[in-house]
Structure 1
Amino acid sequence: MSTPSAVPAAGESRRWMVLAVICTAYLMLTLDATVMNLALPSAQTALHFSAADKQWVVTAYALSYGSLLLFSGRLADLIGRKETFIAGLAGFAAASAVGGAANSFGMLVAARACQGVFAALLAPTTLSLLATTFTDPKERGRAFGVFSAVAAGGGGMGLLIGGALTSVLNWRWCMYINLVFAAFSLVVGSSLLTREPRTGARMDVPGVIVVSGGMLCLVYGFSNAATHSWHTPSTWGFLVAGGVLVVLFSFWQRRAQHPLLPPRIVLDRNRGGSYLAALVIGAGMFGVLLFLIYYMQTDLGYSAITSGVALLPMVGVTAAASTVGNIRLMPRFGPRPLISAGMLINVGGMALLTRIGPDSHYASTLLGPIMVIGLGMGMIFAAALRTGTSGVLPQDAGIASAAINTGQQLGGAIGTALLNTIAASATTDYLTGHAQGKPGPALLHLATIHGYTRVFWWCAGIFALGAVVSGALLRGGPLPTPGPPSTEPATEAEKVPT
């Protein structure tokens, strides 16, 4: 018995066209995050909302996206991947059109929240479609290599596209650009994808309610910590509540007859290790894509477009490394050496970034480190995305894909809160230790850069911890060749208590 595919096995050319559809849809999601961040200052001026309100344009998306990922992943398993893919595309496009036409702050925030809902529906579906469409090991390696390159490089490309759109047109086109990607994926995907047979998945309603509430609390708590303080009740109160709900969810999954996230998914060492790697990527990459851009634009005077171009070498190296890793290295060595080595390479890249100063040059100070980080990220993405969906039953492909996206989303929320706090604290400490009276612009400049370097050292530590955990958790050797799904035995964690 083979894994059901969304595309007939005989249509090899159709499968590669499906890959183009999948990658276009996922690129739209990865671009949207960074493109919208660049559009925020212009949107704030046009719609006349405050700096405090500005955070809600980001938070509204993060709350709906993060809280609904696991539910959406299981929904794809339940009603079919083609149906959820098309619905996610159509909904995301509609929300983007409303956001681009927004004439008030409330309308923009509502559109961003709806974008998050449909992104949660779309993100895990793209990965599960990839996993079920490409079942031949050689084709699977090439397909995951291309997809990994898109996933890893989309953020950097978003900076370039966002900078060009805001400079040449206006902020609204940072929303409207999604319609181009969605139109292609909708038209081509509707004709190429086929309806799949029902997988027998069931919806765990209590699990959905508990884990969605838990993720909502965690994402909101970390978002609030990034903009306010860890000591406010709206931060620690939500974080505590989120932690309690996640613990309750884990207990319920061992007792539920049809668990939302079956223990067999996360208790497999390779898959569990890949989900933790996704969390580390989400936290660590925040230090690169945000604080490095802050440094280039506020300290070196780069424009938004120049910043995007400056990151293109990292995008290129990431794409090459993820493709080679999936095609050449994963079949021979498996995920453990790729993920562990990628983490260690990123440690070195982050350490090199700590050499930045007020008068640093791109070629001598930034180019080398960002290419090193691109290499590390490509290796990690090459292994983590493929491993996270490896060996799962057809009825679990969506939820396994959602677990990867959830790890990355939660990691990003943690990184946002933690690294912003570290940067602010380091900057304040520097000013306190060096100020003689009122600090001048030069001292503020140095203090800000000191905060960035402190963040890069912490990112190096995050990746070092990721290397240790990955090396200890992931199994050695290539991934096992999948056997017939119907013969996979249940683990003790899956068995329903009697």
Structure 2
Amino acid sequence: MTSSPQPTTPQTTAGKNGGGGNAMALLVIASCQLMVVLDITIVNIALPHIQRSLDFSTTSLSWVVNAYTLTFGGLLLLGGRAGDILGRRRVFVFGVLLFVLASLLGGFSQNEAQLLSARALQGVGGAIASPTSLALISTTFREGPERNRAFGVFAAVSAGGGAIGLLAGGMLVEWLNWRWVFFVNVPIGLLIALATPRWIKESERHPGHFDITGALMSTAGMVLLVYGFIRAAQDGWRDPLTLASFGAAVVILVLFVLVERRSVQPITPLHMFADRNRAGTYGIMLCLAAAIFGMFFFLTLFVQNVLGFSPLQAGLAFLPVSAVIAIGAGLASRFLPVYGPKPFMVGGALLAAAGLSWLTLTDVHSTYAGSVLGPMLVFSLGMGMEFVSLTLMALSNVPVRETGAASGLLNATQQVGGSLGLSILVTMYGTASRNEAETQVADFLQQADPAQRLEFRRTGELPPPWSHEVLTAGVSSAFVVAAIFTGVAALIAILAIQVRPSDLERLKGGTPPGAV
């Protein structure tokens, strides 16, 4: 059952900056979130250049992305708790500065180990800064339309940051070099750290302790789970190390739940899942994050390898995504007080599913305008509507002392869902592309000239157009699974989300009946 809405503790810092001050505070918070989110995708376009420069193998190259997302997602809950205990502004600035340091180290990396270490440290900095930035919105903006608009901006940045990262990555790689996808964070982060004390007030500090054991167990469990899927894509589901990774992940995650249930102040407040709406929100976010990570990853491969786009062209191709996500977020923010979040949660997921289903029709003869742009825009509109609704629902009726943990849990769900979902989609991609490769190799050997056959024996790689057929088969299969994820999200929204009249009163800025 849905728990009855409870009045939250008055937030003494909310609204004290005034209109102009609040606008600057939102600019600082949104800039931090943009910096953290776009770093998930900004390196995607730079990966081939990083591989050549630092001699990465194809397998280890995937960890340039995973080292960031896994530490980011695994430690988000600890970051949220740190903000509650030590003060959100203080923790926010520390996280930003740590992110800046890691970015500097990443840009100067000379080998594989240095870069992966820097990426992991970036994830730690992001995990500290991101949940506190979301919680700062709750303590800076008054509940109602003012906070709804702020959440709309934050959600648009969170959802659209991936597309901006692809564009920025393309520009930096093409005009400078791959190291600047890291260096670009340094001046931005320093400006954020300098502006924060001026425009953001410190929140109240709440006594507590850090659940280090819980943080380490959850991170280790997720790393092993993601590694198991990636290993399965390369070596199959019966590989001993694949099975061992899955087994260890299950054991650690079960122990994590048992530890959290007995902890006085757990890193994951399990009682939050007792609220039907909030539990449904986390489930929806898990599914949608898997879809959006997959959409960016596989469309990037398709437009560069099949359509032949340059890094900059690929980045520009994704620019409409950010604009349409902002439109969807704006529409949701405006009409949420009237209709409530459920129509946007259901409708957004269905639009995303429709866009991904459309993308499954792409083939080697597809064009950007004819086969990619349309479904990408439909998907993006749905995502923009979703993220505003999910953000508001996740923090609805949460006491002030737990907003950091609640926002951290929402962000963690997004990152974990993205990491897990992408690893599952990569597994599906690998299976489909291997099956298609068997057909294409036979066709290639019949049609290739002697020079092409000799090169194939030397490298083991098919040339175009045969390689394009293999990649497209894998990408289409991945989009089928991603569409299923969004369909499940729509089903959860239909069955789990229940919006009461008192919830609408809160969205309008009023006092629900019976609230004191």
Q: Same fold (TM over 0.5)?
A: yes
For 2:424, the equivalent position in structure 1 comes to 418
What is the deviation of 1:292?
1.3
What is the deviation of 1:365?
1.8
1:375 aligns with 2:398: no
1:207 aligns with 2:214: yes
Query: Bigger shift: 2-11 or 233-242?
Result: 2-11
CA pair 397-227 structure 1, distance change in 2 beyond 3 A: farther
CA pair 431-198 structure 1, distance change in 2 beyond 3 A: closer
Q: Structure 1 regions of 5+ residues with no counterpart? A: 490-498
Query: Bigger shift: 53-62 or 80-89?
Result: 53-62
For 1:163, the equivalent position in structure 2 comes to 170
For 2:458, the equivalent position in structure 1 comes to none
1:459 aligns with 2:482: yes
Query: Cα deviations across residues 163-204 of structure 1 (Å, max 9, x unaligned)?
Result: 010000011110011112212211111222222222344434
Contact 1:223/1:416, CA 8 A, preserved across alignment: no
Q: Structure 2 residue aligned with 1:47, among 31, 50, 54?
A: 54
CA pair 458-7 structure 1, distance change in 2 beyond 3 A: same
Contact 1:7/1:193, CA 8 A, preserved across alignment: no
1:358 aligns with 2:381: no
Aligned pair count?
A: 487
CA pair 204-98 structure 1, distance change in 2 beyond 3 A: closer
Q: Name the amino acid aligned to 2:174.
A: S
Query: Cα deviations across residues 227-270 of structure 1 (Å, max 9, x unaligned)?
Result: 55443344332333222332333334333332322233222122
Q: Equivalences for 1:243-392 in 2 at 5 Å?
A: 243-328=250-335, 330-392=336-398
CA pair 236-84 structure 1, distance change in 2 beyond 3 A: farther
For 2:83, the equivalent position in structure 1 comes to 76
Contact 2:233/2:431, CA 8 A, preserved across alignment: no
What is the deviation of 1:147?
0.9
Instruction: Calculate percent identity across the aligned residue pairs.
Output: 35
CA distance in 2 between counterparts of 1:378 and 1:213 reads: 32
Query: Bigger shift: 399-408 or 159-168?
Result: 399-408
Q: Name the amino acid aligned to 2:345.
A: I
What is the deviation of 1:126?
1.2
CA distance in 2 between counterparts of 1:357 and 1:205 reads: 48
CA pair 226-335 structure 1, distance change in 2 beyond 3 A: farther
Q: Equivalences for 1:438-457 in 2 at 5 Å?
A: 438=444, 441-457=464-480
Q: Structure 1 residue aligned with 2:493, among 451, 456, 470?
A: 470
Query: Bigger shift: 120-129 or 49-58?
Result: 49-58
Query: Bigger shift: 464-473 or 446-455?
Result: 446-455
What is the deviation of 1:54?
2.1
What is the deviation of 1:7?
5.6
What is the TM-score normalised by the length of structure 1? 0.91
CA distance in 2 between counterparts of 1:304 and 1:468 reads: 37
Q: Name the amino acid aligned to 2:352.
A: N
CA distance in 2 between counterparts of 1:196 and 1:444 reads: 55
Query: Bigger shift: 234-243 or 11-20?
Result: 234-243
Across the aligned residues of Structure 1 and Structure 2, the Cα RMSD in angstroms comes to: 2.5
What is the deviation of 1:403?
0.9
For 1:114, the equivalent position in structure 2 comes to 121
CA distance in 2 between counterparts of 1:140 and 1:108 reads: 39
Query: Cα deviations across residues 287-329 of structure 1 (Å, max 9, x unaligned)?
Result: 310111111111111112111211222221111111220222x
Contact 1:222/1:416, CA 8 A, preserved across alignment: no
CA distance in 2 between counterparts of 1:135 and 1:228 reads: 53
Q: Structure 2 regions of 5+ residues with no counterpart? A: 1-7, 449-463
CA pair 129-429 structure 1, distance change in 2 beyond 3 A: same
Q: Name the amino acid aligned to 1:417.
A: S
Q: Structure 2 residue aligned with 1:397, among 377, 400, 403?
A: 403
Query: Bigger shift: 55-64 or 351-360?
Result: 55-64
CA distance in 2 between counterparts of 1:456 and 1:40 reads: 22
Q: Name the amino acid aligned to 2:365.
A: D
Q: Name the amino acid aligned to 1:23.
A: A
CA pair 351-48 structure 1, distance change in 2 beyond 3 A: closer
Q: Equivalences for 1:92-103 in 2 at 5 Å?
A: 92-103=99-110
Q: Name the amino acid aligned to 2:429.
A: A
Query: Cα deviations across residues 76-126 of structure 1 (Å, max 9, x unaligned)?
Result: 111111111000000100111111112232222221121111111111111
CA distance in 2 between counterparts of 1:133 and 1:107 reads: 38
CA distance in 2 between counterparts of 1:234 and 1:261 reads: 29
What is the deviation of 1:275?
1.1
CA distance in 2 between counterparts of 1:338 and 1:87 reads: 35
Query: Cα deviations across residues 50-89 of structure 1 (Å, max 9, x unaligned)?
Result: 3333233233223322321211211111111111100000
CA distance in 2 between counterparts of 1:289 and 1:316 reads: 15
What is the TM-score normalised by the length of structure 2? 0.88
Contact 1:333/1:476, CA 8 A, preserved across alignment: no
What is the deviation of 1:385?
1.6
What is the deviation of 1:442?
3.4
CA distance in 1 between counterparts of 2:226 and 2:442 reads: 40
What is the deviation of 1:353?
1.3
